[in-house]
Chain A
Amino acid sequence: MTDTATNPGVDVLTPVLSEHWGTENSWKLSRYETTGGYRALRRALDMQPADVISLVKEANLRGRGGAGFPTGMKWSFVPQDNPNPKYLVVNADESEPGTCKDMPLMMASPHTLVEGVIISAFAINAHTAFIYCRGEVLHIIRRLQQAVREAYAAGYLGKNILGTGYDLDIIVHAGAGAYICGEETALLDSLEGRRGQPRLRPPFPAVAGLYASPTVVNNVESIASVPSIIANGAAWFQAMGTEKSKGFTLYSLSGHVKHPGQFEAPLGITLRELIELGGGVREGHELKFFTPGGSSTPILTAESLDIPLDYEGMAGAGSMLGTKALQVFDETTSVVRTTLRWVEFYKHESCGKCTPCREGTWWLVQLLMRFEAGTAEEGDIEKMLDACDNIGGRSFCALADGAVAATTSAVKHFRHEFEQGYHTPAWELFPYEKSAVFATDGAAR
């Protein structure tokens, strides 16, 4: 949550989703309604579904889950002449290291999501919507369930919503804890009760997704952004952001900054501005590297502090905007150790379906452990990069590409640290206690 009282750069913020997170009982329907909640729904239900899609298209809302695909266009791919039911599935399986925007949103204001779901489902003619939520976040699942119950009781869900004749059921589904289930086709398999592994495409979910029926899978933040677009119009949304990346979004600042948290700003803000909003890098330290959007986006260094954090800006810098999860690391951090931790995550979360991801991450972890222990052998860097070359773009889905991105970008920017892994353990070069966020004075420099 943003601390508006003490922050000088606060005028760049555009709190929309997070506007009322700080209010008491912000998650309750009564509170949500007092701040204009569900008015957008009434407006949307007065429109034709196709007009809702056009409006979202016009606003140029791009998917906030990482890939940035235009949301309205995704909706328009749903073949309305298909006799099967249409489904809306909200991907609330947020579980990438560093990414932490959907969980606070659903925790603080679940009705923003529920309202967005109703409008979006209406737009694609779905009568059943699912919120697939990561299983570990039980308190958030309870909030969502409570919000859905309240919405039913208020007539926003169920049969004949607000007397318009439109019916919708929302089912909050708890996943069982697998990163791969954030991949949309694996999510659908999991939702169908199978083991979550990505599906062969085509057919794409828009044509044959959940139960082989037309399905839209959208990120929580994308769907939660829809009510404000309906309420305020496309021009309002377009007025924020950069040329191709429109609107506001949640930036999650974490790591070695004084005041980590969520910062809602127009797309295109820079990390320098965000760090300033967060009170600067940890006292007495300086930025070494950061991820723009979670562990699967290639790391960047201080050189990129002033590049706009939008889809194009990050692509131009050789990275990706991803989930806008800015993990900030200061100079006490071992790149080798950080990379190992990330790749261990991917090894642990690899679903096992395809060879390069399953075997490649197994190998990368063992190589990185040698670098960390200072026992790597001459040539291991080249070997590791070559293994990355054989994994990246060869695997079934994008999971392994995340491990590759972390590894190759680390070597690109900090090759010397890996070379030091030929002879010196990382913990000698970078005593680990020094990078602990809550380090005592003694541990800090």
Chain B
Amino acid sequence: MSVDAKIATSEVEPAPKLVTLTIDGTEVSVPEGTLIIRAAEMVGTNIPRFCDHPLLDPIGACRQCMVEIPDAGNGRGFPKPQASCTMPVAQGMKVNTQVSSPVAEKAQRGMLEFLLINHPLDCPICDKGGECPLQNQSLSHGAGESRFGMAKRTFPKPINISAQILLDRERCVLCARCTRFSDEISGDPFIALVERGALQQVGFYEDDPYDSYFSGNVVQICPVGALTSAAYRFQSRPFDLVSTTTTCEHCAAGCELRTDHRHHQVKRRLAGEDPEVNEEWSCDKGRFGFMYGRGEDRITRPLVRRDGVLQPASWPEAIDAAVDGLRAAGSAVGVQTGGRLTVENAYAYSRFARAVLGTNNIDFRSRPHSAEEAEFIAARVAGRSLAESVTNLDLEKADHVVLVAFEPEDESPLVFLRLRKANRKNGLKVTTLAPFSSRGSDKLNAELLQVAPGGEAAALDSLELDSGAVILVGERAGVLPGLLTAVAAKADASGARLAWIPRRAGDMGAIEAGCLPNLLPAGRPLDDAAARVDVSSAWGGTPISAEPGLSAVEQFAAAASGDLKALILAGVDPADLADPAAALAGLEGADFVVSIEQRQSAVTERANVVFPAALVEEQAGHFINWEHRERPVALVNRANRTPMTDLRIIAALGDALGSELGFRTPADAFADLTELGTWEGARPSGPKVADGGVPEGHVVSSWRELLDASSGNDYELALRATARPAVVRVSPATAAQLGLGDVASVSVGDAKVELAVMVTNSMADNVVWVPANPGVGSGDRLPAVVGSPVTVQAVNAEEGVQA
């Protein structure tokens, strides 16, 4: 957990060459290549600007940032004022900004007057009013009154450029930030400037609306109120909002967010600024997906099952009921912690399971998983510090990144943006081992090594890699036998660095907290006696069982067979598992089920006691992102005090069971875990599983798309509407072989779904790609385990499934 001081390695970054110039009479030295507008910031002068954005290529369109340059560094000056956002500094340059130059000041004032000529004066009803760069800079650098009293350009307002994003062309100052973002950063050039002169406008193709996982960023970087979101439009005035810096709970990137609330209700979330994590961007799921706790299905009181019916109960009643059930089960209990927990909450479950219940039956993996994966995590992932880990910045500097069972745009969108930046700016080579070249791969200019599920290990082996390469492996790899073994071996043999990138925000924290059957906190292997002693002594001497615990799947099986008496589940959706029916059977078979949940679910329906858990916005703590970076979660919303944090609930159960957990606040839990310290003993050698290869017949390839039926997107209709259409993808040869038309019926086991067919040229034959949780189409949710056998049949729209 502790962040080691970064040990100086062979690569020491050379100090940037400095250039000295004079700005308004003040001498300043800045790195070579710095733009004047940013050099001026270093001497405390803010030059007004609209089109300039530090993360976008300079364009020099708005002309707001004019300065005088009496000496360009060569003894000669520019006769006319220059745009400071496009010109790099030069040694000996003299720059006079609005602070010291009447010419620059007048040019800037004139530019603001021009910008307001065709800008509507609807600030009182504009969402941007109060945080608007045009409004602010008009007040700071503009004239009080306009001299233009004539006809303004008008447009119908607003128009939808996607289900989420609305465009008000009258307000647009044509800075091209949105179009440059879409083109340069996200690679979704669905919007472009069209027409000319004052009629120039942001345009889109009506049959092909703005389609991007990152569309909310264009709202945030718009310097006026031209782009607004359906989600936030007319929700609040900026000056009525209270802002909190926190971390997103939707994936393992751990993006910084600025969460704004009013009247104890979150109104919007903006991308925070963290250059090493998310720069200034966020994905739409992180930005707009905060409504999931607002539904009628939110649990706000403890519930206890009486006479077969869940009934509201007081906290003491519920705790007593839970304790009775757990006492009866003894250590025949399984604990599953899901993916949503902060590291503090996860640590509470981990210590509770081992020190209070006396079992190692704990697993965070509420998704398809394998023993090979647990061994891989113990050997290669757990107990690492940020300094030891591959980071976002490492990706930016890498020569070659290999994606194995990992689709960054869907499964870790900020990793995708980082890779795209590296490809665009540094020529990073990306290779993806996948059955087809996805839209995300295309945007990364990735080389496709076409493999059917199971073929990754052999393909990886064929690659020439060296220490400049990074292998990024996704969590889907865990269900392909031998793949994680092969990935680790390849990294060792080639010197390439390796990072495992899970999907959920709580996954890495759960690993560090020891929420795995084979792993104690901070990377301590359960099968190491010294590790057990370490933990035992830190936890007040309670002995730690050496017996390996049961994985999530094994727990359900054991509960179904009666070997386990009780289950404690937090944030687990049986539908996410490889065999949802088996999970439900386990829940039915267990004598006693405790569910600690935010919302009603298939688990709460079957629970004996339900505890209402706090949302992320209702608590403080930390996530640990895929880089092993601690990401602080701040308490945003103090209003709802009825649900408690998982940690507080677990602490109460511990108290009631007569065995103190040792902490009752996130801060104490974090301190307790930190005090445990890093594991300095030997790490397990990792799994040795033979390569399973590609199965015979038609096999499933699948992953979770960023925007799908995930419960994290619930109640945010505009966001849902921007999800990609659900399709089944097959190669042309497979489509022909199966006689597929427009629609196909896809069956995995007993589950069946009908999806539109998209014949995909780059797809490997005999592979059937389906989205893991589309939430559209008619039929069941497929238990889409990568590599499992699948049946596809053509559907005739009139007659149903063909014989």
Residues of A within 8 A of B (CB): 178, 180, 195, 200, 347-356, 358-363, 366-367, 383, 386-387, 389-391, 393-396
Residues facing A in B145-184 (CB within 8 A) are 147-148, 150-151, 153, 173-174
Q: In this assembly, does B280 line the interface, its C-beta being within 8 Å of a C-beta of chain A?
A: no
A361 to B199, CA, bound (A): 12
Which residue of chain A has its CB nearest to the CB of B115? A355
Cβ contact within 8 Å between B63 and A394: yes
B80 interface residue per 8 A CB criterion: yes
Whether the pair A395, B63 counts as a contact (CB closer than 8 A) is yes
Q: How far is the CA of A195 from the CA of B192 in the complex (A)?
A: 10
Complex Cα distance, B86 from A15, in Å, reads: 46
Interface locus among B20-28, B105-113, B260-268, B488-496: B105-113
A interface secondary structure, majority: helix
| Nearest residue, chain B, Cβ from A350 | B197
**10 further interface pairs, Cβ-Cβ under 8 Å (given A383-B147, A394-B110):** A200-B59, A352-B196, A353-B61, A355-B63, A358-B198, A366-B151, A387-B110, A393-B80, A394-B66, A394-B107
Q: How distant is B57 from chain A, measured CB to nearest CB, in Å? A: 9
Report whether A351 and B61 are in contact in the complex, using a CB–CB cutoff of 8 Å: no
A-B contact pairs, 17 of them (CB 8 A): A195-B194, A352-B174, A353-B174, A355-B63, A355-B173, A355-B174, A356-B114, A359-B118, A360-B114, A362-B198, A363-B114, A363-B117, A366-B151, A387-B110, A389-B110, A394-B66, A394-B81
Name the residue on A nearest B58 (C-beta).
A200
Cβ proximity bits B277-309 to A, threshold 8 Å, 1 near / 0 not: 000000000000000000000000000000000
Please state if B62 and A390 are interface contacts (CB–CB under 8 Å).
Answer: no
B64 contacts partner chain A, Cβ-Cβ < 8 Å: yes
List A contacts of B200 (CB < 8 A).
Answer: 351-353, 358
User: Given the complex, which residues of A lie within 8 Å of B687, measured CB to CB?
Assistant: none
Q: Give the interface size class of chain B.
A: 35 or more
A178-B196 contact given A355-B64, A394-B66, CB 8 Å threshold: yes
Top 4 A-B pairs, shortest CB-CB distance: A390-B110, A352-B200, A393-B80, A359-B114
Q: Does B195 contact A (CB under 8 A)?
A: yes
Indicate if the CB atoms of A355 and B62 lie closer than 8 Å.
Answer: yes
Partner of A358, one of B58, B66, B174: B174
Chain A residue with minimal CB distance to B50? A355
CA A349 to CA B174, docked complex, whole Å: 17
Which of B174, B193, B196 has the most chain A CB atoms inside 10 A of its CB? B196
Q: Is the CB–CB distance between A358 and B111 below 8 Å?
A: no
Interchain CB contact under 8 A, B110 and A362: no
User: Which residues of B, 434-458, contact A by the 8 Å Cβ criterion?
Assistant: none
Q: Give residues 49-98 of B contacting A (CB, 8 Å).
A: 58-64, 66, 79-81, 86
Cα–Cα, bound, A393→B81 (Å): 7
| Nearest CB in chain A: distance from B771 CB, A | 35
Q: Is the interface of B mostly helix, strand, loop or mixed?
A: loop
The residue among B58, B79, B174, B198 with the most chain A CB atoms within 10 A of its own CB is B198
CA A348 to CA B199, docked complex, whole Å: 9
- Taken together as a complex, chains A and B put the C-alpha atoms of A424 and B153 apart, in Å, by 28
Q: Are B111 and A390 in contact (CB under 8 A)?
A: yes
Distance A362 CA – B110 CA, assembled complex (angstroms): 14
> Which residues of the partner chain A approach B80 to less than 8 Å between Cβ atoms?
393-394
* A394: chain B residues within 8 A (beta carbon): 63, 66, 80-81, 107, 110-111
Report B-chain residues with C-beta under 8 Å of the C-beta of A178.
Answer: 196
| Contact partner, A352, options B81, B106, B197, Cβ 8 Å | B197
Contacts of A352 in B (CB 8 A): 174, 193, 195-200
Measured between alpha carbons, how far is A354 from B200 in the docked complex, in Å? 11
A354 touches B63 (CB 8 A): yes
Q: Are A362 and B153 in contact (CB-based, < 8 A)?
A: yes
Q: Are B61 and A354 in contact (CB under 8 A)?
A: yes
A366 to B150, CA, bound (A): 7
Cα(A348)–Cα(B200), bound, Å? 11
Whole-angstrom distance between the alpha carbons of A390 and B197 in the complex? 17
CA distance A195 to B110 in the complex (A): 28
| A349 partner residues in chain B, CB cutoff 8 A | 196-197
Among B60, B153, B194, the residue within 8 A (CB) of A354 is: B60
Q: Which residues of A contact B150 (CB under 8 A)?
A: 363, 366-367
- A348→B196 CA distance, assembly (Å): 8
A362 and B199 alpha carbons, distance in the complex (Å)? 10
Q: How far is the CB of A322 from chain B (nearest CB, A)?
A: 19
Cβ-defined contact, A347 with B197, below 8 A: yes
Per-residue A-contact encoding for B128-143, CB less than 8 Å = 1, 0 else: 0000000000000000
- Chain A nearest Cβ from B647, distance in angstroms: 54
Q: Closest B-chain residue to A366, C-beta based?
A: B150
Contacts of B153 in A (CB 8 A): 362
Contact assessment for B106 and A390 in the assembled complex, using a CB-CB cutoff below 8 Å: yes
Q: A359-B118, A360-B114 are in contact. Are A200 and B60 (CB under 8 A)?
A: yes
Residue of B nearest to A198 (CB): B60
The answer to whether B63 and A359 have CB atoms under 8 Å apart is no
* B115 partner residues in chain A, CB cutoff 8 A: 355, 359
Of chain B, the residue at the smallest CB distance from A367 is B150
B111 to chain A, nearest CB (A): 6
- The reply to whether A351 and B62 contact each other, CB–CB distance below 8 Å, is no
Tell me the bound Cα distance from A55 to B173 in angstroms: 49
Nearest chain B CB to A404 CB, angstrom units: 12
Among candidates B79, B111, B193, B197, residue contacting A361 with C-beta atoms closer than 8 Å? B197
> What CA separation (Å) do A356 and B153 show in the bound complex?
15
A182 to B786, CA, bound (A): 57
Residue contact B113 to A390, C-beta cutoff 8 Å: yes
CB distance from A401 to the nearest CB of B (A): 10
Q: Chain A residue with minimal CB distance to B151?
A: A366
Distance A360 CA – B197 CA, assembled complex (angstroms): 10
Task: Indicate whether A362 sits within 8 Å of B197 (C-beta atoms), given known contacts A356-B111, A396-B61, A396-B63.
Answer: yes
Docked pose: A363 CA to B150 CA in angstroms: 8
- Provide the bound-state CA to CA distance between A354 and B196, in Å: 11
* B66 contact set on A, CB distance < 8 A: 394
Given A362-B118, A390-B113, decide whether A200 and B86 contact each other with a Cβ distance below 8 A. yes
Contacts of A393 in B (CB 8 A): 79-81
Residues of B within 8 A of A390 (CB): 106-107, 110-111, 113-114
Complexed CA–CA distance, A386 and B114 (Å): 12
Report whether B117 and A362 are in contact in the complex, using a CB–CB cutoff of 8 Å: yes
Given A200-B60, A390-B106, A394-B81, also A351-B196 (CB < 8 A): yes
With A351-B196, A393-B81 known as contacts, the answer to whether A356 contacts B118 (CB < 8 A) is: no
Expressed in whole angstroms, the Cα–Cα distance for A195 and B199 within the complex equals: 15
* Minimum Cβ distance to chain A for residue B15 (Å): 26
Q: Cβ of B174: which chain A residues have Cβ within 8 Å of it?
A: 352-353, 355, 358
Q: What is the CA–CA distance of A105 and B79 in the complex, to the nearest angstrom?
A: 36
A356, B110: Cβ atoms closer than 8 Å: yes
Residue of chain A at shortest CB distance from B86: A200
Please name the residue on chain A nearest to B106 by beta carbon.
A390
- Expressed in whole angstroms, the minimum distance between the Cβ of B441 and any Cβ of chain A is 25
Residues of B within 8 A of A387 (CB): 110
A351 contact set on B, CB distance < 8 A: 196-197, 200
List the A side residues contacting B195 at CB < 8 Å.
352
A200 to B110, CA, bound (A): 22
Measured between alpha carbons, how far is A391 from B151 in the docked complex, in Å?
19
User: Which chain B residues lie closer than 8 Å to A363 at the CB level?
Assistant: 114, 117, 148, 150
User: What's the least CB distance linking B89 to chain A, in Å?
Assistant: 14
Output the nearest chain A residue to B119 by Cβ-Cβ distance: A359
A-facing mask of B441-485, CB < 8 A → 1, else 0? 000000000000000000000000000000000000000000000
Q: Which A residues are in CB contact (< 8 Å) with B151?
A: 366
